Amino acid sequence: MKIRPARLQHGDTVGLVNLSSPLNIESLGDKLAFLEELGLKYKLGNTVQAYEGYLAGSDEERIKDFHQMIVDPEVKAVFLVKGGYGISRIIDKISYPLIEDNPKIIWGFSDVTTLHTQVNEFANLVTFHGPMLSSPKGELDPLSKKMFQQLFQPIEIQYTESISPLTTIIPGAVRGELTGGNLNRIVSTLGTKFEIDVRNKILLLEDLGETIEQIDLMLNQLRLSRKLELAAGFVIADFNMPDDTYSYEDVLKVIEEYLKPFNKPAVAGFKIGHCEPNIAIPLGVDVLLDADEKTLSILPGVE
């Protein structure tokens, strides 16, 4: 069992850091107000306004900023505020024992997939795949906002078709630990010490702006590296295509072609990732995926 971080209390302070691409600080405006609505205080890391070319500060600056938030006793959660690119450069320099010794909520998605998989594995800590506070689309939608409540009390999430239409790709039911996130970031670590461990786990996949050929290529890499074979099941989330040439349904046909030979339960259509709403979920907890009933039951992520 992985460590579940302590739940937040009203009045707690959360640390905001950026380990990826540079951020326009103005995009945080209404999101900071939302944190205040939740009854939270916040502390801005140095990387929130840092620029180092296409990165939010140098590798050293980003590592230092993150580590400082992890050890700061006042900070009860660390929110990564921007995606893009950059975490892959520092995953071998982050101190996972430091995180395990100071377990707290870590929240973000997209490029943060790289961090989630490593913290789940090397720090034995549950993390949260949830919307960034720097979303370019302005205020978060109501359902995305509601999902922050799982940080204040242990809530079991029941994802059904009441949230979004779901499609059974392969029938069956399976229980296992949930892992994964952004397909591109998962594939980028294959062949390294930091490649994702999917053995007997349920693999979440989502992505943004990849062509159907690129999606096919990455799924093939997962096949050749035996990740599709070793996983216990699959949660297929949003795939936001770069243009109108191919649809989500076209992507699902490609995914089905890759998953069918392994006959593991698989369901598609989850609004998790680069979409609205973006349903926040914990990673590293046990879930029950029922592809026949088209439901995903997720155990709480906090203590």
Catalytic residue list: 110, 206, 274
Helix (H, G, I), strand (E, B) or coil at 35: helix
Environment class of residue 74 by beta-carbon count within 10 Å: exposed (0-12), middle (13-18) or buried (19+)?
exposed
Neighbours of 36 (CB within 10 A): 10
- Edge to edge, the sheet with strand 266-268 lists 157-159, 295-298, 286-290, 173-182, 201-208, 233-240, 266-268, 167-170
Q: How far is CA 39 from the centre of its chain?
A: 24
- What kind and span of H or E run contains 160? none
For 18-88, where are the E strands, in sequence order?
41-44, 75-80
Cα(73)–Cα(93) distance, integer angstroms? 22
For 183-290, where are the E strands, in sequence order?
201-208, 233-240, 266-268, 281-283, 286-290
Cα(50)–Cα(48) distance, integer angstroms? 6
Listed in sequence order, the residues at least 6 apart from 89 whose beta carbon sits closer than 8 Å to its beta carbon are 55, 59
Q: Is the dihedral of CA 148, 127, 300, 291 positive or negative?
A: positive
